[in-house]
Structure 1
Amino acid sequence: MTSSALRLTQSSVSALPLVQPGDAKRQRLYFDTDLKGFGLLVGAKAKTFFVQRDVNGKTVRTTVGRYGVLTVKQATEEARALLFQMTKGINPNQERRKPGAVTYGDALETHLTSNRGLAPRTASDYRYLSEQYLSDWLKRPLSEITRADCRDRHKKIGTENGPYVANHTFRVFSAVYNTALKVHEDLGVNPVIAVDRYKEKRRKAAIPSAQLSTWYGYINDLQDPIRRDWHLFVLFSGLRRSDAEAVRWEPDPAFPRAPIVDFANKAILVPLPKSQEPFYLPLSDFLLALLKRRRDCEHAKALYPASGWVFPANSKKKHGHIAEPEKPKKNKEGETVKVLPVPFTVHGLRNTFITVAESLDLSPYAIKMLVNHSLPDKQDVTAGYISAEVERLRKPMQQVTDKLLSLCGEKPTGKRHAPAKKAA
Structure 2
Amino acid sequence: MPDPTPKHPPVKLTKGYVDRVKPGQNDEYHWDAETKGFGLRVNPSGRMNFIVQGRIDPRKPPARITIGAYGVFTVDQARDVAREHLRSMRMGIDPREVKREDEAKAVTLRQVADAFFARPGMLKENTRDEMDRHLTTAFAKWLPRAIASITPNDCRKRYEEIATKGLRKTPAPAPGSAASAFKILRTLINFAMEEYQTQDGAPLIARNPVAIIKKELAAHESKVRTRHIDRRDVGKFWHHLTTARQNPAFSADTRCGIDLVMFLLLTGTRRNEGAMLTWDRVNLDDADPANNWFHLPDPKNKNPVWLPLSSQAVAVLKARQLAEEKTGTKSKFVFPSRSAAGHIKDTRPVGIQIRAVTCTR
Q: TM-score range by the shorter chain?
A: 0.5 to 0.7
Higher RCO (CA 8 Å, separation ≥ 6 residues)? 1
Deviations 1:386-417 (A, max 9, x none): xxxxxxxxxxxxxxxxxxxxxxxxxxxxxxxx
Who is 2:76 aligned against?
A: none
The alignment's TM-score, normalised by the length of structure 2, stands at 0.54
Alpha-carbon separation, structure 2, partners of 1:269 and 1:230? 16
Q: Does the 8 A contact of 1:248 with 1:309 survive in 2?
A: yes
Which amino acid counterpart does residue 150 of structure 2 have in structure 1?
I
Residue 173 of structure 1, CA deviation:
1.5
Alpha-carbon separation, structure 2, partners of 1:322 and 1:145? 35
SS in structure 2 at match of 1:202: helix
Who is 2:133 aligned against?
A: 128
Which amino acid counterpart does residue 269 of structure 1 have in structure 2?
H
Alpha-carbon separation, structure 2, partners of 1:226 and 1:97? 51
| Aligned match for 2:208, one of 163, 172, 190 | 190
Identify if the C-alpha distance between structure 1 residues 131 and 309 changes in structure 2 by more than 3 Å, giving closer, same or farther: closer
Q: How does 1:393-404 map to 2 (within 5 A)?
A: none
In the alignment, does 2:159 pair up with 1:159? Answer: no
Q: Does the 8 A contact of 1:96 with 1:102 survive in 2?
A: no
SS in structure 2 at match of 1:268: strand
Residue 328 of structure 1, CA deviation:
6.9
Q: Percent of aligned positions with the same letter in both sequences? A: 25
Alpha-carbon separation, structure 1, partners of 2:295 and 2:113? 32
Structure 1: stretches of 5+ with no match in the other structure: 1-55, 57-83, 251-259, 342-424
Residue 340 of structure 1, CA deviation:
7.9
Residue 301 of structure 1, CA deviation:
0.7
Deviations 1:44-83 (A, max 9, x none): xxxxxxxxxxxx9xxxxxxxxxxxxxxxxxxxxxxxxxxx
Quick check: 321-330 or 176-185, which moved more?
A: 321-330
In terms of Rg, which structure is larger? Answer: 2
Q: Does the 8 A contact of 1:267 with 1:280 survive in 2?
A: yes
| Aligned match for 1:220, one of 239, 242, 245 | 242
Who is 1:420 aligned against?
A: none
Alpha-carbon separation, structure 2, partners of 1:231 and 1:210? 17
Q: How does 1:168-317 map to 2 (within 5 A)?
A: 168-186=180-198, 187=204, 188-198=206-216, 199-200=219-220, 201-202=223-224, 208-221=230-243, 222-223=245-246, 229-250=259-280, 260-263=281-284, 266-292=292-318, 294-295=320-321, 297=322, 299-313=323-337, 315=338, 317=339
Q: Does the 8 A contact of 1:99 with 1:142 survive in 2?
A: no
Alpha-carbon separation, structure 1, partners of 2:353 and 2:141? 40
Q: How does 1:325-340 map to 2 (within 5 A)?
A: 325=347, 326-327=349-350, 337-339=357-359
How many residue pairs get matched? Answer: 236
Which amino acid counterpart does residue 301 of structure 1 have in structure 2?
E
The alignment's TM-score, normalised by the length of structure 1, stands at 0.47
Residue 283 of structure 1, CA deviation:
1.9
Residue 115 of structure 1, CA deviation:
6.4
Q: Does the 8 A contact of 2:101 with 2:197 survive in 1?
A: no
Alpha-carbon separation, structure 2, partners of 1:338 and 1:112? 40
Residue 309 of structure 1, CA deviation:
3.0
Q: Does the 8 A contact of 1:105 with 1:138 survive in 2?
A: yes
Structure 2: stretches of 5+ with no match in the other structure: 1-42, 44-67, 73-95, 167-173, 199-203, 248-254, 286-290
Q: Does the 8 A contact of 1:247 with 1:309 survive in 2?
A: yes
Identify if the C-alpha distance between structure 1 residues 195 and 307 changes in structure 2 by more than 3 Å, giving closer, same or farther: closer
Deviations 1:138-194 (A, max 9, x none): 222223222333333333333322332222222212211111122223312222233
Residue 204 of structure 1, CA deviation:
7.4
Identify if the C-alpha distance between structure 1 residues 340 and 247 changes in structure 2 by more than 3 Å, giving closer, same or farther: farther
Which amino acid counterpart does residue 306 of structure 1 have in structure 2?
K
Who is 2:19 aligned against?
A: none
